[in-house]
Homo-oligomer: A and B are copies of this chain.
């Protein structure tokens, strides 16, 4: 087991941060790691917005539903799928400027941005920092586009608050690894297999605690569909995302 694997296998999300700044040298290492990953055709189809200013955090906070991670972290990195820079390069070199105004190009840029984001996370964790991913970035994508002043062909896809952990939480309980792995072709899930794969999770004290807080739910699945991520909410935010894809020029 090398140090890198040790970092990767011991990942935990951290949601409470000490009141301690991330210094420039540390930030620089995290950004360098983010910019060192694979990228489609070496086009580097992403941008990173660094938020350290308190006033900016306050402006962004409502669209992160005022989660404390978004207001209390000393540093927030927002990773954007970005074809703007490359398209501007094409424009200033008399090359076709509408080659990348489509969903395929968006998918490439999302990939580049998420590779960069995960590299930043691994780097941060190796340096003793903690972070968590904010799903809200893809919910209120229209608002983030406005506040961060993102032009056409730029869409935020990941938002990572980073800081020194108040405490190191325990590892999260996951499904057994075989739930996620398929050999050669996809092996679909029948009821017996789902029951077996979810058994430990359903019987955990964590799940029992969640169910105690949600007496209208018989099981964890219902907590998700009735409360955490409902059909109505998801369909609403899907519309917002679709509109943003159109507005930012990735869907005609």
Residues of A whose CB lies within 8 Å of any CB of B are: 1-5, 7-11, 13, 29, 31-33, 35-38, 40-44, 46-53, 56, 80, 84-86, 88-90, 92-96, 98-100, 102-105, 107-108, 110-111, 114-115, 117-119, 121-123, 126-127, 132-133, 135, 138-139, 147-151, 154, 157-158, 172-175, 177, 179-186, 188-189, 191, 194-195, 197-198, 218-222, 224-226, 228-231, 234-235, 237-238, 241-242
Give 13 CB contacts A-B under 8 Å.
A2-B3, A8-B37, A8-B123, A9-B33, A11-B37, A38-B133, A44-B179, A49-B185, A80-B186, A85-B189, A89-B194, A114-B114, A115-B117
* Contact of A44 (CB < 8 Å), options: B33, B138, B180: B180
Q: Which of A32, A231, A241 has the largest count of B CB atoms less than 10 A from its CB?
A: A231
A99 lies within 8 A of B229 (CB): yes
B118 lies within 8 A of A228 (CB): no
A4 lies within 8 A of B123 (CB): yes
Contacts of A98 in B (CB 8 A): 231
* Contact of A43 (CB < 8 Å), options: B44, B219, B224, B234: B224
Q: Which B residue's beta carbon lies closest to that of A1?
A: B29
Copies of this chain present in the complex amount to 2
A234 lies within 8 A of B50 (CB): no
Known: A41-B229, A95-B222, A99-B229. A107 touches B138 (CB 8 A): yes
Contacts of A80 in B (CB 8 A): 186
* Contact of A104 (CB < 8 Å), options: B56, B117, B234: B234
Q: How far is the CB of A226 from chain B (nearest CB, A)?
A: 7
Q: How far is the CB of A166 from chain B (nearest CB, A)?
A: 18
Contacts of A174 in B (CB 8 A): 35-36, 42, 44
